[in-house]
Amino acid sequence: MSDAGAMHGKNRNIQFLRGVAIVMVLLAHASVMLVGAEADWWDGLLQRFLPGVGVDLFFLISGYLMGATFLRKQQVFEAEAVYVFYKKRIRRVLLPTWFWAAVVLLFSVIEPPRGAPAYSLDTLLGVTASAAFFFANVFNGLHETDFGYFWSIALEVQFYLLFPLLLLLRRAFWPAVIGIVLWFSFANPFAPEWLFRANGLFMGLLLWKLSSLGQFRVVERDIEAMTASSKVLVIGLAVVSASILAIALEPYASFRWAATTLVLAVPFMLAVCSSEAVFGALSRPFEAIGQISFSLYLCHIPVWLLCIGWLDGQPLLPRVTVCVTMSLIVAGLSYRYIERPLMEGRKSAAPAGDGTAASSIAVARAGRSG
């Protein structure tokens, strides 16, 4: 297989994992679409199985790609490179987050369905402001609402702000990253710790560094030698195990997120080190969902709340079907008209000769070329 073909397979696998991650997040939030005994039953199930670890899978991907797209070319702090880095992050994250944070204000004038909490304008202004300025994890720790899901975007942006500054440490950069992982794993000073679980972001960086070492080629060859069915089995078991482990280790506070992320690192590295699409044609639906995963994450709660406001009293199956379908449609529109134009604008500003395919290959190459 050509290098381009191998990189395409790896890109597909990462996109597939994004699809898996957002589906898990949707499952974690599914009680928003449920009422009465349905919601109680689902909440009881979530006491045994926590699909919310899909967020930690997103963090792993983001941390790894940070090494692939930035550290691979930038070993020391340079003001111009850091400026370009921040400009790209702002273009990618800021406007979509602002748009959907503003949509939240609609719920101050919309009558909630039966059993759903009503929020004051002051509360929703707090949600919107904290989401827009990326301290939603702090706000959500003080004021729990249905819109607390902005916490993970805030934490990721906080990571983006801190990450380039660590380059000022020069040779102490990687020891500092290891120290941060250990700090958040055993002595997270923030509460509640689940809103500040940056473990996955920094562990993703470490995975990129590990995969860039020459010694890692032995592991990579062993992964390539595995059969597709073996990889599918291991990936499935690892994702389920991580969801169960997050519940089992709940008494251990922040350590459980480190342990969960280590388990999720298994399917992640299987995907990154496989030159073929692990799930073949079956991965296409998840890849499609992964493509719009950021927009879907931003819009699903507002869309679901609006839908159940109209469908209050309807049977379970049509209610959930409409909610999920509408969130996918709205996410597709958000991706097409808000998120994608910003990404395309960045590509059009690239120097001549920087084709989309070449850029994708460079990103996916990540840990191979360090």
Which pLDDT score is estimated for 285? 94
Could you read off the pLDDT of 85-137 as tens digits, one per residue?
Answer: 777 777 778 889 999 999 999 888 887 766 667 888 999 999 999 999 999 99
The pTM for the full model equals 0.88
> Quick one: 114 exposed, middle or buried, by C-beta within 10 A (0-12, 13-18, 19+)?
exposed
Q: What is the DSSP letter of 46?
A: T
Which tokens belong to 342?
Answer: 């910003």
Q: Where are the alpha helices (DSSP H) in 110-194?
A: 121-132, 136-142, 151-162, 173-186
| Spatial distance between the Cα atoms of 131 and 127, rounded to a whole number of angstroms | 6
From residue 270, alpha-carbon distances to 90, 169, 245, 249, 352 in Å are 31, 32, 20, 25, 34
CA atoms within 13 A on the CB side of 229: 0
Residue pLDDT, tens place only, 227-276: 999 999 999 999 999 999 999 999 998 899 999 999 999 999 999 998 88
CA distance 266 to 85: 29
**Mean pLDDT value across residues 312-328:** 93
Instruction: Give 10-48 pLDDT, tens digit per residue.
Output: 788 999 999 999 999 999 999 999 988 999 999 999 999
Residue type, 364: A
pLDDT exceeds cutoff 90 at 327? yes
Q: Give 351 or 124, the one with higher predicted confidence.
A: 124
Q: What local confidence, expressed as pLDDT, does residue 298 receive?
A: 97
Could you read off the pLDDT of 126-147 as tens digits, one per residue? 999 999 999 999 999 999 888 9
Higher-confidence residue: 223 or 109? 223
- Domains of the chain, by residue range, sit at 3-346+354-363
